[in-house]
């Protein structure tokens, strides 16, 4: 493992340990605050297609936020892992049966329509003020975002995390795509690339 990868693994481990150390009550209260803030602070373009996610482990639970965005007219989709290299975003309709969609998540099955999101609510392990993120190490979102961009699409990228997941600096490379903003329990924080 090279030094950059070791640094990322260490930052990921530390940030996830802080998130895991939050009590269930703290995570529930912070998730509610994130949903409440997201309702008012996330702008939806006309015809919005928003990718969300089903929470795993100690992640923020954004299901109430996704339901609210749907009520505001957005089409909601969630990731399904097709292979080690590819995820797609399947439309999540009310009362649709849910199946295992990989990486510990559930979502609609293969009969659901695959959508291209123009707003992505992105899960993460750690983030910095510049909008750089650390995922869980598999690279699924990085590849999905790259595929969308290769097709000329540029979704708005909003990281979703607890404040405890913020780090001073995420090691980055020139090809890394930064988030536009990060939504935490204290607000929607615009990325500051020059920090």
Q: Does 136 carry a binding-site annotation?
A: yes
Say if residue 134 carries a ligand binding annotation.
Answer: yes
**Does residue 42 form part of some domain?**
yes
> How much is the pTM?
0.93
What is the span of the domain harbouring residue 123? 3-190
135 has binding-site annotation: yes
pLDDT score for 195: 62
Annotated binding residue 139: yes
Is residue 133 part of an annotated ligand binding site?
Answer: yes
Q: Does residue 168 belong to any structural domain of this protein?
A: yes
141 assigned to a ligand binding site? yes
Residue 10 sits in a domain whose CATH number is 3.40.50.10420
Is 86 annotated as a binding-site member? no
Q: Is 67 annotated as a binding residue?
A: no
Which region among 25-29, 119-123, 133-137, 161-165 has the lowest average model confidence (pLDDT)?
133-137
- Reported as a pLDDT band with limits 50, 70 and 90, residue 139 is confident
Q: Is residue 98 part of a domain?
A: yes
Instruction: For the chain, give the secondary structure using H, E and C.
Output: CCHHHHHHHHHHHHHHHHHHHCCHHHHHHHHHHHHHHHHHHCCCCCCCEEECCCCCCCCCCCHHHHHHHHHCCCEEEEEEECCCCCEEEEECCCCCCEEEEECCEEEECCCCCECCCCEEEEECCEECCCCCEECCCCCHHHHHHHHHHHCCCCCEEEEECCHHHECCCCCCCCCCCCCCEEEECCEEEECCCCC
| 21 is known to lie in a ligand binding site | no
């Amino acid at each position: 493992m090279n030094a950059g990868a070791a640094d990322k693994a260490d930052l990921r481990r530390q940030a996830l340990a802080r998130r895991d150390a939050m009590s269930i009550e703290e995570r529930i209260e912070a998730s509610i605050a994130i949903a409440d803030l997201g309702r008012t602070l996330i702008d939806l373009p006309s015809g919005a297609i928003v990718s969300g996610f089903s929470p795993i482990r100690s992640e923020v639970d954004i299901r109430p936020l996704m339901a609210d965005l749907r009520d505001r007219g957005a089409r909601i989709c969630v990731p399904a892992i097709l292979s080690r290299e590819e995820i797609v975003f399947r439309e999540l309709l009310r009362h649709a049966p849910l199946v295992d969609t990989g990486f510990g998540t559930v979502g609609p099955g293969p009969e659901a329509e695959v959508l291209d999101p123009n707003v992505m609510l992105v899960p993460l392990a750690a983030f910095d003020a510049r909008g750089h993120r650390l995922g869980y190490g598999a690279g699924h979102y990085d590849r999905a975002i790259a595929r969308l961009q290769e097709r000329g699409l540029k979704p708005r990228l909003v990281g979703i995390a607890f404040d405890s997941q913020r780090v001073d600096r995420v090691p980055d490379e020139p090809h890394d795509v930064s988030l536009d903003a990060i939504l935490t329990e204290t607000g929607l924080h615009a990325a500051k690339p020059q920090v």
